[in-house]
């Protein structure tokens, strides 16, 4: 065989060897990807028990979830027009004139929280009544229409400054249900309105470390119900507060039991399949699969994450 023949054989040998190494690498990469730690693992129908165990064993909190868990003790301040009407839920017809907390001292809130060992304070920025605890440019139903400090008060600004002073984090509760806003029930228009309110809060009072969404969806002042665009809300939070966990009606933090504090006998940090759009998760696997595939749902049932459920 001539020299060119020998070169050809060696070339084919090298090619076959390279192909074999490539196959081995691809197989290894696939196995590594399957066992790589992640905060979401979708179990597909028909998967072997070995694969299921491998996936489950490699589910870990996301960085924002881990930071939230390490805070351990968080305060939640419910304060607004309902404080002055002595009602649990306002109807959106309250006059801003009733809101005049002339002795409000956000520094005292933050100092007490810090001294108690709390790592964060969450404040109700807007409840179902639609009254905004900051001077929103998107509605007149806010502190700027109240007599408090001559219309110049801002609860969120006061608390943000106090939290910085005392070294604790700040989060906000923002209800998508708005019993005052006329656009509520006009789904596209109101969803943009609510996302813009989110933008106001997340930009003006940054950094926000938790956004608590309530799932209540009743009628607005026009008698209509709203179809919430959760994906728009999630994108807004991720854009403007990338370190914030989205709680309750979101993919990061959920109830440990019920709103009344009743927990389950056993608790695993899982998102049940009722909340997951598997096709959407797969389609967004290289972006933010949990957000894209999350369907908000009531997560206060007796069993969410038992071995039988998983």
Average pLDDT over residues 275-298: 49
- C-alpha torsion angle, residues 193, 255, 166, 64 (rounded to 10): -80
State pLDDT tens for residues 171-202. 999 999 999 999 999 989 999 999 999 999 99
Q: What is the pLDDT of residue 15?
A: 37
Higher pLDDT residue, 90 or 52?
90
Q: What is the pLDDT of residue 279?
A: 46
CA distances (Å), 291 to each of 20, 215, 232, in order?
Answer: 38, 16, 10
Query: Where do runs of H (alpha helix) occur along the chain?
Result: 3-35, 49-57, 63-71, 82-85, 106-115, 155-166, 187-204, 230-240, 278-283, 289-293
pTM of the model: 0.79
CATH number at 63-251: 3.20.20.80
């Amino acid at each position: 065989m001539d020299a060119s023949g020998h070169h050809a054989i060696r070339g084919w040998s090298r090619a076959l060897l390279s192909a074999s190494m490539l196959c081995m690498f691809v197989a290894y990469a696939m196995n590594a990807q399957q066992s790589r730690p992640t905060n979401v693992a979708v179990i597909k129908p028909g998967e072997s028990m070995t694969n299921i165990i491998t996936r489950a064993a490699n589910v870990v909190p996301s960085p924002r979830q881990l930071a939230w868990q390490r805070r351990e003790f968080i305060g939640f301040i419910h304060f607004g027009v309902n404080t002055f009407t002595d009602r649990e839920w306002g109807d959106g017809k309250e006059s801003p004139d009733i809101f005049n907390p002339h002795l409000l001292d956000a520094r005292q809130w933050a100092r007490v929280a810090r001294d108690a060992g709390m790592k964060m304070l969450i404040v109700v920025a807007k409840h179902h009544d639609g009254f905004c605890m900051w001077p929103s440019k998107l509605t007149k139903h806010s502190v700027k229409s109240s007599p408090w400090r001559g219309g110049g008060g801002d609860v969120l600004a006061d608390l943000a400054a106090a939290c910085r002073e005392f070294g604790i984090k700040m989060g906000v509760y923002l209800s998508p249900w708005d019993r005052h806003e006329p656009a509520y029930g006009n789904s596209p228009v109101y969803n943009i309105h609510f996302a813009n309110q989110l933008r106001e809060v997340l930009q003006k009072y940054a950094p926000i470390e938790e956004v608590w969404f309530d799932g209540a969806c009743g009628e607005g002042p026009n008698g209509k119900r709203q179809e919430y665009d959760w994906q728009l809300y999630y994108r807004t939070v991720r854009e403007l507060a990338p370190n914030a966990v989205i709680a309750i009606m979101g993919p990061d933090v959920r109830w440990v039991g019920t709103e009344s504090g009743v927990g389950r006998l056993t608790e695993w940090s899982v998102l049940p399949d009722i909340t997951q759009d598997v096709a959407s998760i797969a389609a967004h696997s290289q972006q933010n699969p949990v957000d894209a595939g999350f369907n908000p749902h009531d997560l206060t049932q007796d069993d969410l994450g038992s071995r039988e459920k998983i």
